[in-house]
Amino acid sequence: MLGVSGGRDALPGCLTTNHGTAAQRRLFRYQGALEIWRCPKDKGKISEDCEEHPQTTLLPSCWETRGFSYEMNGGSPSGLKLPFTRRRVAGFINNEPESWVPDPTRFILFYEPPAVPQVCHHPVQHFRPRWYQWHRNRSKTQFLDPRLAPGLFYSPILFVDGHSAVHNFTKSLCTDPYYPFEETKDWMWYKPADEGRFTRY
């Protein structure tokens, strides 16, 4: 995320190394250190997922630790196990023109952690996969199995075309937890390598 978002300075240590200071991020010069990158419902994440510093956490909130609540979708999502998607991914969205995106009205650009699982892919696993609920939660905000959680995996989404919406990702996360990134009528996470514009959902 270094160089992408705005927000506030990350805490010292690997959080600053990984995410930089607010002034180092590209959108800072347009927005300054505004709180538009802060979600008031931000409940954080169990881990920064730093191999060299496995004890580093994003609690009590992502905003208070790394300096922003929202995450960018690079166009190549990461899930529980390889392959992370049912179709081969065409590539990353970074440095691509808007025309590269099959459907800008449905392609997710920014999201919150409740929309996706958090998984450690390091050789030595330092936390078990987690699913989060920030909005409308019933006091518990972390889950080890989304199918045993209330159906409240809500996340605000900013799409490539610039519009935003709040969606419930429960069905995608629970129907097949190994493939939560497949296209729906409302959103898409990635561009398949062998197809252009498509509407199969």
Cα distances from 114 to residues 42, 111, 142, 144, 162, in angstroms, run 10, 8, 9, 13, 21
Tokens 């518990």 found at: 140
Q: What is the pLDDT of residues 40-49, one digit of tens each?
A: 999 999 999 9
User: pTM of the full predicted structure?
Assistant: 0.90
Q: What is the pLDDT of residues 75-92, one digit of tens each?
A: 999 999 999 999 999 999
What is the mean pLDDT for each group of 10 consecutive residues in the chain (201 residues)? Answer: 70 92 84 85 96 95 96 95 95 92 97 98 93 96 97 98 98 97 98 66 45
Average per-residue pLDDT for the chain: 92
Phi and psi angles of residue 172, each rounded to the nearest 5 degrees, phi first = -65, -40
16 vs 65: CA distance, rounded Å: 9
